[in-house]
């Protein structure tokens, strides 16, 4: 059987920075060539980054992508890489109208191309367009109507883009009909907790359906709220894993494959879902037989807590670096949320770039002040203390506030102080709110909700505790100082805005609250179904009222790393003005 050394470049890209992305393609193609690769692939929309959102509607950006693709092909040839076929994702436009979809010629396409000998030898657009969760691809793109196949060293290789695997029909059965020996899918599929197991089973099943070896190449890195975890996978026609790449790790995945020779009577014409086979022959002569040196391998898997924590680190790091920021500022209360955010920030960009400020009031406990200072000493971040009591007294003298208004004033003074320091010193503020608080509105607008990014906004409070314990345990196992003070983990959570206050004065116990929120927010269950699951009717009704009433607050919260299938923002979009209430 013919042999083929495949190079899957599991790398990051930067939305809009086409020149830097092209440089990455050249760099990793050269690296792949040095490793003896016969075929090289890059992720979905590698040249433009993903997702480009409304940049897809800007004709100048589309043309920049198309021009960069042609220039890239010429550059690869000029650098002596012209004989190595390269599959790369980019943004294109259709040359013909799509009357059935009401889209004119020139409409954008989520596309990929094959570059060879200085030319763009094959172009194709994504066939299945996702339109759920964070995806709005029907808003932007026209679907492709071909089944692309390239013949490389005597092997027919079918090509697909991300959702072409996730939906039934289309390019997977068309690959079998085309008689391909290998199917390569280039992807930019965002991370979600537990998605790695789902992804593996998907790839196994699709390989069996396609009747050939399947290589699933995934992007890594971060873009705004999205994180990409890599986890590229190669399986044989029976669904057995040949190679599996690490999560959250950039690099080139090399694998030596033995594949069926291309058929002399390879099918042509229209196959499944009306897809027309578009076959380009690049090289007929098989590679001279060689001893495989990269037969594959299975990277160690991360446990659930490590996976989520790494996602938070990668998401924050990408947001800071890609937006040109240098440092972050965090209000340190001594509590668990700000402590976890500080630990994530130190791991993401280095403690030397993390600035913490304690802002005690007359209600702040001595242990909270001490825990904030202890965290700073453990992590090595910059630390200062700025009491807010003089400011608070000045406001109270002028306004005479009481009750909740008095409590919220403290939070808003802290928010103003953080933003003032941000403005003066150039740090971006990180908001420490978690998903439980955001869900029920347990935060103060223009107070603890201020900031440029919310690293744990998609992490429930019970998970915050678990991740804090994981991070300390991981440090201890490495012989390092655990970053989070034990007292921040074990003491009852409190905003400390009035004497003796604890969170459970206003909220159910977090394990119960989070279980209800998981059903209502993440699974879209109604009141009756949640009560039927065994929860107290009054508690459920009260929780749901809080969630519904807080939609206007959530709209004003900063972006933050998405780790669940239903994060607040693009995933869960409800009207602010909403008269619907769940009934038992």
Kindly tell me the sign of the dihedral angle through the C-alpha atoms of 568, 572, 577, 578: negative
User: What would the two tokens of residue 529 be?
Assistant: 């179904």
Average pLDDT over residues 90-95: 93
Count CB atoms within 10 A of the CB of residue 430. 28
- Please list the alpha-helical segments (H only) found in 480-550: 486-490, 510-517, 527-532, 537-549
Q: What's the pLDDT score for residue 137?
A: 86
Average pLDDT over residues 478-497: 85
SS3 385: strand
Count CB atoms within 10 A of the CB of residue 191. 26
The DSSP element (H or E) to which 6 belongs, if any, is strand 3-10
Q: Is the per-residue pLDDT at 495 higher than 80?
A: no
- Please list the alpha-helical segments (H only) found in 479-536: 486-490, 510-517, 527-532
Q: CA Rg, the chain, in Å? A: 26
- Active site annotation includes 126: yes
SS3 174: helix
pLDDT per residue as tens digits for the range 16-55:
999 999 999 999 999 999 999 999 999 999 999 999 999 9
Of the chain, the percentage scoring pLDDT greater than 90 comes to: 77
Average pLDDT over residues 570-579: 84
Q: What's the pLDDT score for residue 533?
A: 94
Average pLDDT over residues 356-376: 86
Q: What's the pLDDT score for residue 553?
A: 93
Q: Is the per-residue pLDDT at 125 higher than 60?
A: yes
In a 10 Å sphere around its CB, with 0-12 CB exposed, 13-18 middle and 19+ buried, how is residue 162 labelled? buried
- Active site annotation includes 406: no
* pLDDT range class, residue 98, cuts 50, 70, 90: low
Distance CA 57, CA 141 (A): 9
Q: Is the per-residue pLDDT at 496 higher than 60?
A: no
Distance CA 27, CA 29 (A): 6
Q: Is the per-residue pLDDT at 368 higher than 90?
A: no
pLDDT per residue as tens digits for the range 264-316:
888 999 998 899 999 999 999 999 999 888 777 888 889 999 999 999 999 99
Task: Give the residue from 135, 129, 142 showing the smallest Cα distance to 103.
Answer: 142
Q: Is the per-residue pLDDT at 571 higher than 90?
A: no
Q: Answer whether 210's CB lies under 8 Å from 173's CB.
A: yes
Q: What's the pLDDT score for residue 135?
A: 83
Task: Give the residue from 367, 484, 364, 485 showing the smallest Cα distance to 414.
Answer: 364
Helices (H) and strands (E) in the chain, counts: 18, 20
**Paired strand residues for 521:** none
Least confident of 150-164, 375-389, 485-499: 485-499
User: What would the two tokens of residue 412 be?
Assistant: 């808003």
Q: What's the pLDDT score for residue 101?
A: 66
Distance CA 294, CA 4 (A): 11
Distance CA 162, CA 137 (A): 12
256 or 576, which is more confident: 256
pLDDT per residue as tens digits for the range 523-549:
999 999 999 999 999 999 999 999 999
465: which residues sit within 8 A by CB, 6+ positions away? Answer: 336, 489
User: What would the two tokens of residue 481 be?
Assistant: 């100082």
> What is the crossing angle of helices 389-399 and 403-425, to 10°?
130
Q: What's the pLDDT score for residue 494?
A: 64
SS3 369: helix
- pTM of the predicted model as reported, rounded to 2 decimal places: 0.93
User: What would the two tokens of residue 387 be?
Assistant: 């009491």
Count CB atoms within 10 A of the CB of residue 526. 15
In a 10 Å sphere around its CB, with 0-12 CB exposed, 13-18 middle and 19+ buried, how is residue 447 labelled? buried
Q: What's the pLDDT score for residue 401?
A: 86
Q: What are φ and ψ of residue 469, in 5° steps?
A: -65, -40
pLDDT per residue as tens digits for the range 383-417:
999 999 999 889 888 988 888 888 889 899 999 99
Q: What are φ and ψ of residue 5, in 5° steps?
A: -100, 115
What's the half-sphere exposure (Cβ side, CA atoms, 13 Å) at 429? 25
Q: What's the pLDDT score for residue 256?
A: 95
User: What would the two tokens of residue 291 be?
Assistant: 């001893």
Of the candidates 162, 212, 252, 346, the residue annotated as catalytic is 162
Of the candidates 83, 95, 96, 126, the residue annotated as catalytic is 126
Q: What's the pLDDT score for residue 498?
A: 62
Q: Is the per-residue pLDDT at 100 higher than 80?
A: no
SS3 453: strand
Average pLDDT over residues 48-64: 94
Query: What is the overall mean pLDDT for the chain?
Result: 92
Count CB atoms within 10 A of the CB of residue 373. 17
Angle at 334 between CA 348 and CA 512, to 5 degrees: 90
499 or 403, which is more confident: 403
User: What would the two tokens of residue 177 be?
Assistant: 């009909």
pLDDT per residue as tens digits for the range 555-566:
999 999 999 988
Q: What are φ and ψ of residue 102, in 5° steps?
A: 70, 30
In a 10 Å sphere around its CB, with 0-12 CB exposed, 13-18 middle and 19+ buried, how is residue 424 labelled? exposed
Q: What's the pLDDT score for residue 434?
A: 95
Q: Is the per-residue pLDDT at 475 higher than 90?
A: yes
């Amino acid at each position: 059987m013919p042999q083929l050394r495949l190079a899957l470049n599991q790398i990051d890209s930067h939305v809009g920075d086409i020149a830097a992305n092209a440089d990455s393609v050249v760099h990793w193609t050269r690296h792949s060539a040095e490793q003896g690769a016969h075929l090289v692939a890059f992720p979905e929309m590698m040249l433009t980054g993903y997702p480009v959102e409304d940049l897809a509607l800007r004709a100048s950006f589309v043309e920049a992508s198309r021009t960069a693709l042609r220039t890239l092909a010429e550059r690869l040839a000029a650098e002596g890489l012209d004989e190595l076929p390269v599959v790369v994702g980019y943004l294109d436009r259709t040359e013909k109208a799509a009357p059935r979809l009401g889209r004119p010629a020139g409409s954008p396409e989520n596309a990929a191309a094959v570059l060879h000998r200085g030319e763009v030898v094959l172009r194709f657009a994504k066939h299945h367009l996702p339109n759920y969760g964070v995806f709005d691809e029907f808003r932007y793109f026209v679907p492709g109507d071909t089944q692309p196949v390239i013949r490389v060293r005597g092997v027919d290789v079918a090509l697909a883009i991300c959702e072409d695997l996730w939906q039934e029909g289309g390019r997977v059965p068309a690959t079998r009909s085309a008689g391909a020996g290998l199917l390569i899918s280039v992807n930019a599929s965002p991370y979600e907790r537990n998605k790695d197991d789902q992804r593996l089973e998907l790839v196994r099943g699709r390989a069996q359906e396609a009747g050939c070896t399947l290589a699933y190449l995934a992007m890594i890195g971060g873009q705004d709220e999205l994180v990409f975890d890599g986890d590229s996978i190669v399986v044989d026609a029976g669904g057995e894993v040949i190679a599996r790449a690490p999560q959250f790790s950039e690099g080139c995945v090399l694998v030596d494959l033995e594949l069926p020779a291309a058929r002399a009577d390879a099918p042509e014409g229209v196959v499944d879902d009306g897809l027309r086979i578009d076959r380009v022959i690049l090289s007929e002569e098989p590679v001279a037989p060689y001893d495989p040196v990269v037969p594959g391998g299975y990277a160690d898997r991360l446990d659930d807590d490590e996976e989520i924590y790494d996602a938070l680190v990668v998401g924050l790091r990408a947001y800071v670096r890609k937006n040109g920021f240098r440092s972050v500022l965090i209000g340190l209360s001594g509590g668990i949320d700000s402590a976890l955010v500080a630990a994530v920030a130190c791991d993401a960009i280095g403690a030397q770039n993390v600035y913490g400020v304690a802002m005690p009031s007359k209600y702040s406990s001595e242990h909270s002040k001490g825990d904030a200072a202890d965290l700073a000493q453990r992590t090595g971040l910059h630390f200062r203390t700025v009491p807010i009591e003089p400011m608070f007294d000045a406001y109270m003298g002028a306004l005479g506030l009481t009750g909740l208004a008095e409590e919220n004033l403290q939070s808003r003074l802290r928010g103003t102080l953080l933003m003032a320091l941000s403005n003066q010193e150039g740090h971006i503020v990180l908001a420490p709110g978690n998903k439980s608080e955001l869900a029920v509105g347990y935060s103060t607008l223009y107070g603890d909700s201020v900031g440029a990014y919310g690293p744990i906004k998609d992490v429930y409070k019970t998970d915050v505790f678990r991740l804090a314990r994981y991070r300390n345990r991981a440090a201890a196992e490495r012989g390092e100082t655990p970053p989070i003070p034990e007292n921040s983990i074990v003491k009852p959570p409190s905003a400390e805005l009035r004497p003796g206050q604890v969170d459970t004065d206003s909220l159910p116990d977090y394990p119960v609250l989070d279980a209800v929120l998981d059903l209502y927010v993440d699974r879209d269950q109604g009141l009756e179904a949640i009560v039927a699951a065994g929860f107290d009717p009054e508690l459920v009704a009260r929780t749901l009222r809080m969630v519904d009433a807080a939609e206007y607050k959530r709209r004003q919260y900063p972006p933050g790393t998405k780790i669940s299938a239903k994060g607040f923002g693009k995933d869960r979009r409800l009207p602010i003005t909403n008269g619907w209430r769940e009934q038992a």
